[in-house]
Amino acid sequence: MFTIDKLYQPQNIAEAAELLTKYPDITVLGGCGFLKLGNRKIATALDLSLCSLAEISETEQYIELGAMVTLRDVEVNPALNQFFDAVLPKAVAHILGVQFRRCATIGASVYSKYGFSDILPALLALDTEVELLRSGRMPLVDFLAKPISRDVLISVRIIKDSRRAAYQNLRNAGADFPILNAAVSRYEKQWTVIVGARPARAEIAVQASQLLSDMATDSIDIDKVAATAAAELTFGSNNKASADYRRAMCQVLVKRAIGEVLA
Amino acid sequence: MKWVGKSVSKIDGVAIATGKPLYTEDLTVPGTLVVKLLRSPHAFARITAIDTVAAKALTGVECVLTHQDVPQVRYSNAGQSFPEPSPYDRLILDPIVRYVGDEVAIVAAVDEKTALAALDLIKVEYEIFEPVLALSSAIDHPSVVHPETDLHCNFPIGLEQQRNIASSHTVEIGDLAAELALCDVVVEESYKTQAQAQAMMETFRSFTYLDQSGRLVVISSTQIPFHVRRQLARALQIPATRIRVIKPRIGGGFGAKQTGVCEVYPAIVTLKTGKPAKVVYERKETFIASNSRHATEFKVRMGASRDGIIRVVDIVGLSDTGAYGEHAPTVFAVIGDKTMPLYNKTKAIRYQGHAVYTNKLPGGALRGYGATQGTFVQESTVNKLAATLGMDPTELRLKNLIRETETSLYYKGKKLGSSSLHRCIETGKSMIGWDAKFPRIEQGNKVRGVGMAVTMQGSGIANIDTASAEIRLNDDGFYTVLVGSTDMGTGSDTILLQMAADVLAADMDQFIIHAADTDVSPFDPGSYASSTTYVTGMAVKKAAEELRDKILEQAASVLQVPAEQLQLDGEQCIDQASGKTVSVASIAAAAVVGPDHRQLSAYATFGSPVSPPPFVAGFAEVEVDTETGKVTLLDFVAVVDCGTVINPALARVQTEGGIVQGIGMALYEEVQYDKKGNLQSNSFMTYKIPGRGDVGTVRVAFEESYEPTGPFGAKSVGEVVINTPAPAIVAAIYNAVGVQITDLPVTPEKIFLGMQAQKQA
Amino acid sequence: MKLELLINQKNYELEAAPDEMLADALRRLGMLSIRKGCDTSCCGLCTVWVEGNPVLSCTMPAFRAQGKTVTTIEGIQPEAEKFARILAAEGSEQCGFCSPGFIMTVIAMKNELKNPSEQAIQHYLAGNLCRCTGYMGQMRAIKTYLGGEVQ
């Protein structure tokens, strides 16, 4: 059972920024699903639900998801279902049930950088940026690479382009965490191959992506790309599967995801 | 009026489904203390010092108890009739802790937050011992899990404390070596089954208070109110007359609540403080600190003639009873008892081994109670034998399985009273489309396979389970049925009324049922061992018959005709000769007014010298992804012989539910410990019970038989239904891709590795 | 902190700690249909509606429901009973402990999805675990409830 001594509910981002300065150790509350698993004793907590961050907005150029947008919002959003072969709704649909997804937020899901995330591979397959209260806007891939702490994720922005994308995952029970997952996208001639839940966090397979991008569309050697991804990424063992099995499955999922994009 | 055989809705169904406050926690009162337990972080240790000063000083804390504050009399939590076969190896709080989660201290406070804060303030020092964690190396391990000198057994169970052997068991009939030598084919395999969790949705919980005469009242989510009363009397060292146990609605049990897991903690708090107290286990506590199915390791040898007659079955192995021996000897015995009689052409059989102590979560009762493990190892071996002989596994079984009126080596001359198992197999084959699908259909990187298994269970425990029932005709002409069985969602209260209503030819709404309250209910061991329909059902039927006869006698004296001439139609007693009638209502009213009258009631007790087995033939169709090893269960067909089906809708859902729990054991429910003995699969996040998308289609059919010793010809259905999925699914996988899984659960990785090994071979 | 909630069309003012979850607050207010089955946001037993949408009340802090409409099964008894009768005819309430959360999700689904396929139903209800029934009878009951329009 976790405890919170003092809760702050700022009315806007500026107030949130002040609180972050005043209380460097403040804990930002997301969907609270994982928070409540621990026995954390939280002195000060920050709730962003009054900061108007629960909207998905769409412009000519991008789709923007406020940090408090729920995974269920993502799943049913018309724009996200219209673009990128609905890769993001398809990825979040695997996460437990509707009532969980109605609690879990996109901000916490991205900021926490979970290894088992279904969302990160899909987001990495897209042209995604995140905006942080202190660190500002940056590509998602940079955010994932940087050790960022004591910041607040405000929004996730996805550039609207004509990208094709696919998400693949291997789970045993349907509501379990993935043993491994993968996403692949193609935007014009640029392919991106991502593998997650290795069990380490989703990562772009740079060589495989390059190799695939360099191949002519009519002579794509999917097996070679898949083998390259399996060779260049690291895989670990945990309760769900061994590293060797994950490496083998990496080839299968990448192959299937590429096939789906080509279909 | 005919109720038996009808799909009557459960009498409590709408109320419980719509959220009415009828469960244990709903019945607590304002001011109830919240009990929390400090649990051992070590798998095996001795408490050398424990400091509760700060915890006791915390505002709102009412009571902190350690091993120094509780009676030091050993008892067993196993819900079994006295004298229990399970060893008395437990204290309420023990200076030695034997697994991670074992109770160290009891805290009661005004609210949950305070109680949890107090737990943090208790300082404990431990002397840590090397834990016994592996089943295979438990016997003669340098660490002795139970070094105490006051461990007690009610009768010999083959316990060898210094060797970590909780119980020993041997059944050997015929000359094993000689018969094996005569067999044309002998197959052999080793198996492991996991410590499956019951995972009922309502965790363990109890609420206690003192009544107007200072007696301890225990409202508990339990399957065994009478056993809990006896356990508490011993553990707390108070007379049983000072204890009343009440079972309200229960949110599932599956055997978990056949062990008195949590009642003693609020009970001792209430005795110490005089205040109402409750304990509500968290899900994690329910996983790590209660009980589970006994994990097992077995080696099976099976010998047969070339034409497929099974001559020898030899099953030898171990079960893991964990830190305490609840249900250890009986579960171990049932593994053989409920499997070996199936194949009755045998000339020699052996079933042998031990239940052993380890420093892990205690074993206990879980639907199937050993038969599940036994079915997995025996049926997997039968399937292997079929493959070795090149025979269709259904044909092999039809040739070898026991039939009605036959006996078996294991039965020592007793005859099987009822069975439609051969019909179950034929029906199942046709439902699954066996002949067209066996063994496999390949479609690119997906291969479909079918597999099957059969199983038996019992109906109550022969010569032990004895239940009583009382039925009263009330002053207003309706009936009260009093029983001590414990409907935990199965619908047993409803089907017992169906039986009573049939006998008394009355409408079901003329009946109320009361269960269970040890102050009021007739004795019943509780709902376990597939006993309620068969044992309690028979008691109800007998009581109803006796009451019917009494009503007719009364009517005979009113109408001045012989009782034999009268017929009861529910509302009226009718004289067949004259057509004259007298109403049951008027007899009921007259019975309670004036001198020389007596309220009509009947009391009956039933126990059976046999435990008639229900049977299931289970068929699985799976699809294996040959690139990943992932198994998708497409279809499961269960054809059930439970004798007469008392309530088809409830029997069907019992079957579907049991099958899905069996599917969980086969495919999803993985039990994982770390090297220090921490159970890591300790939540629904890490221990995956099947969700609705994980189970394909489950289809159920009944092939009725008529059990001569059962009420209306009925046998049990509650447990037998969990046994076939694991062996049937494992066989279907083998038939699809040739990979033999011998340790549960199946995982995609195990199948993938198996297929890789095949490629290399 | 002081909260105002519109629960089952009735206004409630309550004092809640910032770490009190909606499930606990609702039980405290007498909505005893609210049950916790897992502590890890996996089981769906505690499902209620906030602003008409199914959420896990064990996972949502009470303060997030401030000023919002909350519906528990106590607030929709006639409709819940209608479905419960169908469910009970299938025997598929069994122990009943998961039923309130399950029924809240079923009715939310009925409100949200038009003519859902069997697959869509399974997906919508994926967050509601049941250990008793094996789910088949629940599906039969849902199909009856939705009026036989399920493919």
- pLDDT range class, residue C148, cuts 50, 70, 90: low
Higher-pLDDT residue of B516 and A2 is B516
Is A97 strand, coil or helix? coil
Q: Calculate how close chain B gets to C68, using CA atoms only, in Å.
A: 22
User: Exposed (0-12), middle (13-18) or buried (19+): which is A256, by Cβ within 10 Å?
Assistant: buried
Sequence length of chain B is 761
Size of the B and C interface in Cβ pairs below 8 Å: 179
Element (H, E) at A122: helix A119-124
pLDDT at residue C151 greater than cutoff 80 = no
Which phi and psi angles does B596 have, rounded to 5°? 65, 20
Q: What is the pLDDT of residues B640-670, one digit of tens each?
A: 999 999 999 999 999 999 999 999 999 999 9
B681 contacts on A by Cβ (under 8 Å): 239
User: Exposed (0-12), middle (13-18) or buried (19+): which is B609, by Cβ within 10 Å?
Assistant: exposed
Across B142-163, average pLDDT: 98
The pLDDT assigned to B534 comes to 98
| Residue A3 CB coordination number (10 Å) | 16
Q: Distance between CA B566 and CA A49 in Å, rounded?
A: 76
Report residue B300 as tokens.
Answer: 């099976």
Is B679 strand, coil or helix? strand
pLDDT at residue B761 greater than cutoff 90 = no
Contact between B458 and B338 (Cβ < 8 Å): yes
Cis before B266? omega within 30: no
C52: left (phi over 0), alpha (psi -120 to 50) or beta: left
Q: Measured at the alpha carbon of residue B75, what is the angle toward residues B74 and B78, in degrees to the nearest 5?
A: 155
Residue type, B384: K
Judge whether C1 is closer than 8 Å to chain B, CB to CB. Answer: no
Q: Calculate how close chain A gets to C57, using CA atoms only, in Å.
A: 9
Cβ–Cβ of C84/B18 closer than 8 Å?
yes
Cβ–Cβ of B691/A1 closer than 8 Å?
no
Is B617 strand, coil or helix? strand
**Nearest-CB residue to A239 (from B627, B667, B672):** B672
Which of B161, B586, B150 shows the shortest CA–CA distance to B357?
A: B161
B282 contacts on C by Cβ (under 8 Å): 39
The pLDDT assigned to A39 comes to 83
User: Exposed (0-12), middle (13-18) or buried (19+): which is A11, by Cβ within 10 Å?
Assistant: exposed
Q: Distance between CA B572 and CA B558 in Å, rounded?
A: 13
Element (H, E) at B97: strand B96-97
Q: Strand C2-7's sheet: what is its strand order? A: C10-15, C2-7, C69-71, C47-50, C53-56
Cβ–Cβ of A96/C41 closer than 8 Å?
yes
Task: Return the axis-axis angle of helices A222-232 and A243-262, rounded to nearest 10°.
Answer: 140
In Å, how far are B317, B398, B455, B652 from B422, measured between CA atoms? 30, 6, 12, 20
The pLDDT assigned to B30 comes to 96
Q: Distance between CA B513 and CA B515 in Å, rounded?
A: 7
| For chain C, percent of residues with pLDDT exceeding 70 | 97
For residues B99-129, b (16+ Cβ closer than 10 Å) or e, as one string?
bbbbbbbbbbbbeebbbbbbbebbebebeeb
Least confident of A129-133, B13-17, B409-413: B409-413
Cβ–Cβ of A174/B680 closer than 8 Å?
no
Half-sphere exposure of residue B376: CA atoms within 13 angstroms, side-chain side? 32
Q: What is the pLDDT of residues B171-202, one digit of tens each?
A: 999 999 999 999 999 999 999 999 999 999 99
- pLDDT range class, residue A197, cuts 50, 70, 90: very high
Which of B384, B81, B448 shows the shortest CA–CA distance to B229?
A: B81
pLDDT at residue B531 greater than cutoff 60 = yes
Could you give the residue ranges of the DSSP H alpha helices within B390-491?
A: 393-400, 421-432, 434-437
User: Going by DSSP bridges, is the β-strand pair A190-196/A180-187 parallel, antiparallel, or unpaired?
Assistant: antiparallel
Task: Return the axis-axis angle of helices B584-591 and B537-559, rounded to nearest 10°.
Answer: 90
pLDDT at residue B1 greater than cutoff 60 = no
Q: Strand B566-568's sheet: what is its strand order? A: B566-568, B572-575, B581-583
Q: What is the pLDDT of residues B556-608, one digit of tens each?
A: 999 999 999 999 998 999 999 999 999 999 999 999 999 988 999 999 999 99
Q: Distance between CA C139 and CA C83 in Å, rounded?
A: 12
Q: Distance between CA A96 and CA A176 in Å, rounded?
A: 8
The pLDDT assigned to A1 comes to 80
Q: Distance between CA B460 and CA B607 in Å, rounded?
A: 9
Q: For the CA atoms of B687, B691, B697, B699, what is the dihedral angle to 10 degrees?
A: 80
Is the Cα dihedral B401, B406, B412, B418 positive or negative? Answer: positive
B295: left (phi over 0), alpha (psi -120 to 50) or beta: beta
Which phi and psi angles does B625 have, rounded to 5°? -80, 110
Residue type, B652: R
Q: Calculate how close chain A gets to C104, using CA atoms only, in Å.
A: 10
Q: What is the pLDDT of residues A65-102, one digit of tens each?
A: 999 999 999 999 999 999 999 999 999 999 999 999 99
ipTM above 0.90, yes or no: yes
The pLDDT assigned to A10 comes to 97
The pLDDT assigned to B113 comes to 94
Report residue B372 as tokens.
Answer: 């599940």
Cβ–Cβ of B688/A173 closer than 8 Å?
yes
B534 DSSP assignment = I
**Nearest-CB residue to C19 (from A4, A96, A100):** A4
pTM of the model: 0.98
- pLDDT range class, residue C150, cuts 50, 70, 90: low
- The DSSP-derived string for chain C is -EEEEEETTEEEEEE--TT-BHHHHHHHTT-TT---S-SSS-S-TTEEEETTEEEETTTSBGGGGTT-EEE-GGGGHHHHHHHHHHHHHTTTTTT-SSHHHHHHHHHHHHHH-SS--HHHHHHHTTT---SSS-SHHHHHHHHHHTTS---
Q: Calculate how close chain B gets to A87, using CA atoms only, in Å.
A: 21
Cβ–Cβ of A174/B691 closer than 8 Å?
yes
Interface probe, candidates C95, C142, C144, C145, chain B, greatest B C-beta count within 10 A? C95
Sequence length of chain A is 263
**Chain A interface residues facing chain C, Cβ-Cβ under 8 Å?**
1-7, 9, 29, 31-33, 36-37, 42, 45, 47, 49, 72, 93, 96-103, 174-175
B536 DSSP assignment = I
Per-residue HEC secondary structure of B697-758 comes to: EEEEEECCCCCCCCHHHECCCCCHHHCCHHHHHHHHHHHHHCCCCCECCCCHHHHHHHHHHH
The A residues from 158 to 177 touching B (CB cutoff 8 Å) are 170, 172-177
Contact between C105 and C126 (Cβ < 8 Å): no
Which phi and psi angles does B501 have, rounded to 5°? -65, -35
The pLDDT assigned to A34 comes to 84
- pLDDT range class, residue B123, cuts 50, 70, 90: very high
Radius of gyration of chain A (CA): 19
Place of tokens 């006996």: B407
Across B255-272, average pLDDT: 98
